[in-house]
Each structure stands twice: as C-alpha cells, then as structure tokens.
Structure 1
Amino acid sequence: MKVSIEQQYLVRGEAFGARGCSGCTCDPCDCNPCNCGDGVAIPRWRVSGYAPSHGSVEAFDVSGLFILSLAQPRVEGGVWQEVLLVDNKASVKQIAALLIAFESRLESMPAEIASSSHRRQRSVYMVPMQYRKNERGGWLEVNHASEVSIPVREDVDSLLITWRYAGPMASRGRFHFSS
C-alpha cells in the first residue's frame, strides 16, 4: 500500500526581484544576466521574492506575508551563498506554509555566478521586512542583521551576512499557484 501526502495550497499575489548592480541603467535592475551599461556586471547581491496578497497553504493564511531568497557573496570576489528570508510577522506554522508553497520556486543566484542546485536546504531567517506598491512599482524594506534576524533553519556552512535594503523592486508579474 502506497500512501502519498498532498500539500494543499491556493495563493496569489506578486513576484518581484532586483539586484545590486553598479553602472546599470535599469532602476531597479532585474536583468539576469545584466548586460546593461559597460558590459557584464557582477552584482553585489540579488533577490527574488513573493508577496502573497491572498491565499492559504495547508489551511494557514499567508496573505500579507513575504518570503524572498537573497544571494550575496560570502567574501569579496569569492563564493556566493543563498538564504531565505521570511516576514517576522509570520508564525512558525505560517513560515512552514510559506516554505511549502515557495521554497522550490525561489532562486536568486546571479546567472554570472552560477545556478544554485539547492542540493542542501538553505538557511531560513525571520527578519523585519515590508513590501508595498507605490506609483513607481514595488518597494522593499529589509533588515537582515544579527541583532534582528531570528534563525529558523540554519545550514552549517552558511554565514549570516548583514544586508539592509530600502529601495525599489522590479515586478515580475502576478502569480497564482494551486495544488
């Protein structure tokens, strides 16, 4: 007898992203790879995220919460890492629900660096974050620093690298996921 567990979800909202490029003419840059400006530019960071406006996963409401992946170099010119950041307003069960619906869809590793294979689970941190729409598009505010980030799941090889951002995000369009 084979038993399968099907995870139930129906969520919709907006996908967004950006990268920290220098010399790029995009505002914000979300090119991957970026060939704007003076040739190929390696970004300082790259982020991809989801802002569910309506929906639930496994009967847990995830409306108004946010999840994103952040890729950034561990050292200058060196190895990059990718972590997941979740809204610190989410409960433990809502975080689990967000991970069910979005973890496999989130990848931020810049094309100039390499594709992330996700062979290992990425570290997950609860952080203060806010995403909103304004007349110019999306606006993200995040504070991922040791004094405010709460580890939910940690990869032993991952480092907590401070990343504070308050700025524009490029819309990647609306999403509607269901199982």
Structure 2
Amino acid sequence: MKKLFLIVLGLISFNANADPTYDATRGALQNNSALCGYGYNPNCSSGSRSTPPPKKIIYHDVKVPSKFGALAFSEKSGHIGGALNQNSKAEAQSAAIKQCEKGSRNAPCKAISWVRNGCIAAASGKLKNQTKVIGGAAEPGLAEQAAITNCKNAGMTECKVLMPEGCSLPQLQ
C-alpha cells in the first residue's frame, strides 16, 4: 500500500508542475533566433536552414584604350574620306585627310567630324544652291540619323546619307 501511495503521490506531483496552456513549439529553445541557422527552430520565417547572404562581386577597373574615327571632305573636288579605329583624335583626323586627298587628286581636304568610342556618318545637303557635307556621331545604329539631323539643323535641304555609318569602338585584347 505504501508503494501504491508513493506512486500516486509522484504522479500528482508531476501534474502539479504541468501548465495546461504550455505549447512545446514555443519554448525557450524554439524562440532562440540563433538556432534559425541550424534549421531546428520551427518558428523561423523560412522554416528551414537559412541561406547565407549573397557574395559581393568585386569589379576591377579594366583599362581599354579609346578608339577614334574621323571624316574629311574636299569642297573643291567633293570627295570624302574617313578613318576608323585610330588611337587618338589627331591620328584619326590625319588619316581621314590623307584618305580624302588620295581620292580627290590632292585637292585640299579638311576634317569635318570626329568620334571617340562611337560611330560616325556623313550627310550631304543643299545650302544656297551649294552642296555641303556634314558629319554626325552617335552610338551604333544612330550615326546616319545624327548626320541627317545635323544637316537639317544647319538649314540644308535635300539631306541624304553620303557616307554610311562606321564605328570606332574599344576592344579587349
């Protein structure tokens, strides 16, 4: 009988400490946010192991030399010349003038437009019954339209593309 009494007393003492509103999923360990990284905390927002933050990408400056292009025109002969992918503005203009003078039987040519890391084109139009040439520089695909726009903005009529777009763009080696 004493044994039975001790067993009943032991069971009653266990029940006396139990909280009927206690939720095992909200205990001290389950509320510890430090355990979220291990995936043991069911109360974490993701419910699974947390993912580390994304790694930062470090970009290094890459030095790519600029490339230049230019157009030259001879009013005397009406010839136009161009140069692309030169290392400086002066080199591009000089090469364009040489190209122009080659085809214009050495009539004097002068540089009319240049571009750095972009594209260039030329348009011709009439101004006071004289044909004039003007250049236009822009990003790829837009240089011819820039030349036509420059022609119209200069007050010329009958503007048309004289030299199609050519590009001088830097390239990694």
TM-score above 0.5, yes or no: no
The alignment's TM-score, normalised by the length of structure 2, stands at 0.26
Pick the structure with more strand per residue.
Answer: 1
Greater RCO (CA < 8 Å, at least 6 residues apart): 1
Q: Larger C-alpha radius of gyration, 1 or 2?
A: 2
The alignment's TM-score, normalised by the length of structure 1, stands at 0.26
